[in-house]
Structure 1
């Protein structure tokens, strides 16, 4: 049985929740917990999986009987603070490589949503120039994603002062600019954990943009733990999203305090 909450299908982000397990064991562990859909950050060190890596991951997913609903583009060295380079002039070739690598692997996995992190602001480069670069790269990605029946999901992030997209409004402004180029296969990745740290009224955000959500993700706060471990009204927000027209899956992207019982709360 797929895991659900009040009729909403839940997907497990194994890159965060099951990070203590080797990649190739994560799909089976998610399936054993009742999930039929998972999400993945980019699981390799570079922008392109080797043929062996791709074959092994595809086999692990197929053997587990799950599907991959969301896949990130390679975003650089996250451990050193990078958060993609979509908006960074001079790195267009790196973006293209990350895009091609993710789309190639994603096509084999049947992925329907891709997350290219926007990138940090660069000192000495005007915001307008960075925005033009970001829109051009995202338009290219949305066009190619659309060719395989997928969409780009642009995500606002919290806690990073130099990240230009911290609110739903800022994110949707870029989404609309991409759509104006003719590339329609793009919307927002609405992570309620991140959005809860903005100064916006989240119910208003949901009512305004729910039909633009490519995907929803949740974690609780404080602590970014599993739903119910903190104080966020996640059930209220998910209900509002459903009422406003969002009918897609909800990704569980949290960090378990104890990996040994990462999924124990589901019981």
Structure 2
């Protein structure tokens, strides 16, 4: 190499050497934080000296002896809310069904004619057991046709036709007694005969109106002596002289349909009274 080239590079080499020396000095002043592993070029980090060494037991912090131990807090016990008590719904007392009364009858055309009082009865608590109702029949004929009946009440309306023949009240009452005994009902309703506008009947000129009034009085007394019920279902429409108002009769003897309807209501009441009244007296 020429002499002038070596002379020009000396300052550069000197400067580079100064840099190397300075760098070495700085590196020597720094602490070793890593150890070089030969042949790998990988640096393994060294654990910080402030952390616990491997294998040392970890200290468990202890509580201060002066600090009171905490008392566990118990949740307050909540009383269960009682279920509301439902009052039982009262069961309504059923209305007792009225016991049906059975009745039977013994009569003439006043009982057996079309639309008679007996045929117009419509009380659902009264049940007919059948009976005898013969147009134009006397009490003797009614007796001959009567028979035992399973009935609570016997209704007797007889005697009108006996007056046509002039038969005595005594014979009529005797036949009625026999009818009641023959039928055998528990109770008896003895009814008055209907009014009459006939005052001169047949050649004998029998006053059926007057004789009817006499018979009705005797029927009432007879019922009293027998413990029977007497009813005059015609009384509200009977004239004071014992005859029919013209608007209540079709022929001076037999009632109109409307009149028979009124009588049917009264007879239904009489049947109930006879049965219930007898029960009350017995009790």
TM-score normalised to structure 1 length: 0.36
Whichever structure has more helix as a proportion of its residues is 1
**What TM-score, normalized to structure 2?**
0.34
Specify the structure having the higher radius of gyration (Cα): 2
Q: Which has the higher contact order (CA 8 A, sep 6+)?
A: 1
